[in-house]
Structure 1
Amino acid sequence: MERLKSEQNRLCAWLSEDPDYIVDHCGDILSVNEFKEVQKQTGASEKIRVLLGIITNKGGGACQSFMDILQQDQDHYKGLQQFFNNSAQGLITPKVVSDKCSVVSINDLKDTSEKSFSNKIKVVSGPGGSLSGLVDGQVPQASYVATGGSVILANRLSGVNIVGDIGFSVCVKSPEAFRGTVEEAPSVPQGPAVRMITEHKVELIDCLRSDPIILQHAQARNIITDMQYQELKQTSGPVRTVTDLLDVVVGKGQETCQRFLQVLNEADVLDTYPQLRKILSIN
């Protein structure tokens, strides 16, 4: 648990490259509501931070299961090899202390090849920043201490082959520069299968609520995990059950939605839910 907490920033950076992949592998750790909480986050980093928070709050058993998943996924996330190598060598992550207006950026790249490397940091500076938990005048004991709107870049590159450009940039702006502006949330691209389920969600709920056997079909095709199946079975009311099922499917992305639509197109499913022919425009 402590290792996951201390390495949270680096894990976020590595796992954010493909957040849905690792979230999908955590189906036996997360409840349906926890899975939905992670998936509703708009950004990749936010998804991973929420995921790590949920897992560490669950305690040692969940943390160990997650570590086992990370170990199995080392080939998918290059940084995880460094994570486990450092663990075996007993390396300690530097302690970092910063106030709310400052940033310490640590990137530890080792024995890898990349097309380019870029480290861009934006900071909103402001007076009155203080270190939590410290008495005025007390000097914190840490490897890196950033205060008063300062930025520390503590990047370590060892055995790294960068084919293109290496760029470091820092942009410090005053709070006034952001007054009166509203940051738009980045739009998340949706595939055709995701759009199909989303656009026809109300009709699908009205159709599929007539028979709970759709849960068994979803479980049999590994669209939902055994744990998610058990939780959905215990949901109060068929409408709520189907709604949660569709939310889980959509949350897993385009590939899972495509597989779910293939299930809905199967002959025995169409016999159970004849209205699907009209909803999905099946002749």
Structure 2
Amino acid sequence: MKPAAFEYHAPATAGEAVELLAEWGDEAKAIAGGQSLMPMMLLRLTVFDHLVDLRRLHELRGIRQREQAVWIGAGTTHSAVGRSDLIRQSAPLLARATPLIGHAQIRNRGTLGGSIAHADAAAEYPAVALTLDAEFELLSPRGTRTVAAADFFTGMWATALEPDELLTGITVPEWHGRRGFAIEEFARRSGDFAMAGATVAVGLDADSRIDRCAIGLFGLGPGPERAHHIEREVLGSHVREVSAEEVGRAATARLTSVPADLHGSANYRKRLGAVLVARAWQRAVEEATDD
């Protein structure tokens, strides 16, 4: 297959890139690693008259410590995220999600910002960003703005990005104290998108009561989701009084838009999601209580 004809642009700065996006509007699309966009264009599932290549924009790459958070440039590759000692220390859930993404070749070219901006419902990074309350820096000819992950994902392959905006960086807050993180997913084959997945972060106080938690779901709806209702319910509980299986069932009980296809019914995926949440919860709790 070949993509439809398009005009190629290679700006030298992020400012030039957003000017091009503003000039061409919906007819233009930014491309970073191209690991998600190019297959869709090759299959003619999407068509753009202009591609704005971000590979020359070194300002969009890098991983840096910020006050109580870590900043990651949107152009940073998956592989660079996975290799970073700072990510492993400050945002371990992000580091643990990285090996689950596609294959080594995809991780070497795909970028963190590309995955988040593409907003595939079954992708790991959007769910991790939502779980960790990340914030996204967006640049346009009008200036910059910051959008919380909770407000960024708006539907299937849909985000709060305006046509002339570019995702330039992601800020992930650190979790301090007794904490545990885990990600679980199920895919038919290694490297495939997950049929269902769960991300869990748990924080405990000195008495082993849950003082913070976050439960994310992916592959179980039109976009990544948070199980806020069960998060609120378990807050303040002693960690030993909380059943992982009950957390899993509650986290998926209110899902109403679970996809179905030849690989599995919506009911199957929902039950699978409950099991994955329970496993991730158990692993996160074990890490948080490991003294």
TM-score class normalised by the smaller sequence: under 0.3
Higher relative contact order (Cα pairs below 8 Å, separated by 6+ residues): 1
- Going by fraction, where is helix more abundant, 1 or 2? 1
Normalising to structure 2: TM-score of the pair? 0.26
Normalising to structure 1: TM-score of the pair? 0.27
Larger radius of gyration: 1
- Going by fraction, where is strand more abundant, 1 or 2? 2
